[in-house]
């Protein structure tokens, strides 16, 4: 044989017909692409909302009502991310023969497209891996998870938009031109014998996504509780019927929290700085509210909280009516030892300095002596073991 060099290089997977499965086709790729597009868009939007709530720029105000809104947006974030795992793996398997396309690079725009796919595939795998690992509180990387996950999201969504733009005509043709969906089962076999049909392949991926979603949603949706095989925290399991993310021992607050001389300081932009004992806090009108803890990791659980209203305490101290508050914990170190309360949440009748949970004094792991709990705040902002309120 006397083939010119480039043709002689076509060995192994570069050969024509190296990938005979009829599942490596544009229609399967297009259907999975649309499903992934919807999942990633929902995951991105809900993720950005969560980021904005935790780092609010001037133009953004997150409302205090409905009280369970964050539980829904963050539940969706985690559910769509998890459903995307089997969809992405299926899609990558469907299209991976294109890695061996011949010639490897046709022209400049083809080269750029292949390069952008590197960002898209790398970004998507990075987002799903870091997200799932975070749910398990496993951090096998040197960077701070929220920052890496946040910037990774922009890279991924940017290259996804480029990809959707580049593939729109092919996708439209694959989905609406020629063969109907009903033909899928029939034309899955091409005479080469055994193997999944296209419908069987897509059905298996959809089932995998569905099972993963159901077994994860149980950490938020009470009727699905018994199905939560994969989620590390289950609503209803933990002291006082509520899961705990950070225990008092792990936070290093045991001595300070049990100290009989405990006081909550109220300071900053107030007319009358206060030093409130537990007895003082109990002498405020006690208010009860049913509010969820909705963790960024996707689990959530409702509970009945009781304590002094934050706004009553602020009023006693003579704070302005539009005051914002930084709440700090007895916890000496750690990123989540403090949080900010916007004026919308500080004025809300259900934002409490909670002393009781489900009819009993707070368990030490739930924030005894006092924790903050407010409607529609991410769990990470529901600071436990309060030591100080600074009004700004």
Shortest approach of ligand MTE to residue 366 CB, angstroms? 4
Residues 6 or more apart whose Cβ sits within 8 Å of residue 2: none
Shortest approach of ligand MTE to residue 128 CB, angstroms? 21
Q: What is the DSSP string of 51-75?
A: HHHHS--TT----S-STTHHHHHHH
Would you count residue 233 as binding ligand MTE (CB under 6 A)? no
User: Which partner, Mo ion, ligand MTE, none, binds residue 298 by CB below 5 to 8 Å per kind?
Assistant: none
User: Which partner, ligand MTE, Mo ion, none, binds residue 243 by CB below 5 to 8 Å per kind?
Assistant: ligand MTE
Would you count residue 383 as binding ligand MTE (CB under 6 A)? yes
Structure tokens given for 269: 């932009």
Stretch that binds Mo ion, among 5-13, 136-144, 156-164, 243-251 (CB under 5 A): 243-251
The contact pattern for ligand MTE, residues 323-362, with x = CB under 6 A and - = no contact, is ------x-x--x-xx-------------------------
Would you count residue 384 as binding ligand MTE (CB under 6 A)? yes
Is-cis flag, bond preceding 103, omega within 30? yes
Count of residues that interact with Mo ion, criterion CB under 5 A: 4
Helix 198-217 and helix 26-54, axial crossing angle in degrees, nearest 10? 20
Shortest approach of Mo ion to residue 245 CB, angstroms? 5
Site for ligand MTE in 142-171 (CB under 6 A): none
Q: Is the dihedral of CA 145, 68, 227, 304 positive or negative?
A: positive
Shortest approach of ligand MTE to residue 150 CB, angstroms? 17
Would you count residue 379 as binding Mo ion (CB under 5 A)? yes
Cα-based angle 301, 279, 244 (whole degrees, multiple of 5): 20
Under DSSP, is residue 136 helix (H, G, I), strand (E, B) or coil? coil
The contact pattern for ligand MTE, residues 271-300, with x = CB under 6 A and - = no contact, is ----------------------x-x-----
| Dihedral of the alpha carbons of 383, 385, 387, 391, in degrees to the nearest 10 | 20
Shortest approach of Mo ion to residue 351 CB, angstroms? 18
Closest residue to bound ligand MTE by CB = 379
User: DSSP alpha helices (H): ranges in the chain?
Assistant: 5-8, 26-54, 69-95, 108-135, 145-176, 183-186, 198-217, 248-251, 254-258, 278-283, 310-317, 343-347
> How far is the first Cα of the chain from the last one, in angstroms, to the nearest whole number?
82
Would you count residue 380 as binding Mo ion (CB under 5 A)? yes
> Given the rule CB under 6 A, which residues bind ligand MTE?
242-246, 251, 293, 295, 329, 331, 334, 336-337, 366, 379-380, 382-385
């Amino acid at each position: 044989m006397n083939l010119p060099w480039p043709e002689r290089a076509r060995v192994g997977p570069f050969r024509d017909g190296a990938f005979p499965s009829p599942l490596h086709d544009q229609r399967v790729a297009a259907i999975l692409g649309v499903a992934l597009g919807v999942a990633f868009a929902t995951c991105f939007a809900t993720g950005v909302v969560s980021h904005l709530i935790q780092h609010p720029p001037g133009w953004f105000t997150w409302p205090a009502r409905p009280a369970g809104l964050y539980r829904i947006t963050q539940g969706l974030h985690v559910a769509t991310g998890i459903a995307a795992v089997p969809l992405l793996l299926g899609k990558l398997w469907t299209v991976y023969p294109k890695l061996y396309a011949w010639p490897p690079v046709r022209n400049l725009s083809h080269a750029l497209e292949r390069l952008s796919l590197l960002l898209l595939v790398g970004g998507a795998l990075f987002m799903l891996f870091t997200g799932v690992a975070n749910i398990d509180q496993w951090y096998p990387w040197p960077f701070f998870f929220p920052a890496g996950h946040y910037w990774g999201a922009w890279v991924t969504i940017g290259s996804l938009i480029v990809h959707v733009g580049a593939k729109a005509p092919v996708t439209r043709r694959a989905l609406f031109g020629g063969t109907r969906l009903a033909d899928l089962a029939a034309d899955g076999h091409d005479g080469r014998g055994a193997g999944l049909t296209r419908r069987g392949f897509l059905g298996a991926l959809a089932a995998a996504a569905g099972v993963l979603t159901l077994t994860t949603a149980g950490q938020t949706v009470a009727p699905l509780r018994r199905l939560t095989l994969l989620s590390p925290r289950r609503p209803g399991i933990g002291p006082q019927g509520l899961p705990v993310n950070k225990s008092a021992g792990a936070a290093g607050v045991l001595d300070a929290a049990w100290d009989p001389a405990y006081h909550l300081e109220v300071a900053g932009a107030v007319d009358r700085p206060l030093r409130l004992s537990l007895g003082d806090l109990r002498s405020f009108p006690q208010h009860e509210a049913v509010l969820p803890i909705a963790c960024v990791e996707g689990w959530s659980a409702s509970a009945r909280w009781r304590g002094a209203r934050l706004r009553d305490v602020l009023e006693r101290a003579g704070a302005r009516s539009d005051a914002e508050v930084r709440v700090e914990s007895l916890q000496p170190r750690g990123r989540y030892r403090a949080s900010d309360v916007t004026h919308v949440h500080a004025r809300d009748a259900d934002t409490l300095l909670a002393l009781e949970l489900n009819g009993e004094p707070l368990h030490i792991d739930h924030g005894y002596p006092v924790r903050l709990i407010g409607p529609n705040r991410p769990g990470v902002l529901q600071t436990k073991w309060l030591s100080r309120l600074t009004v700004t």
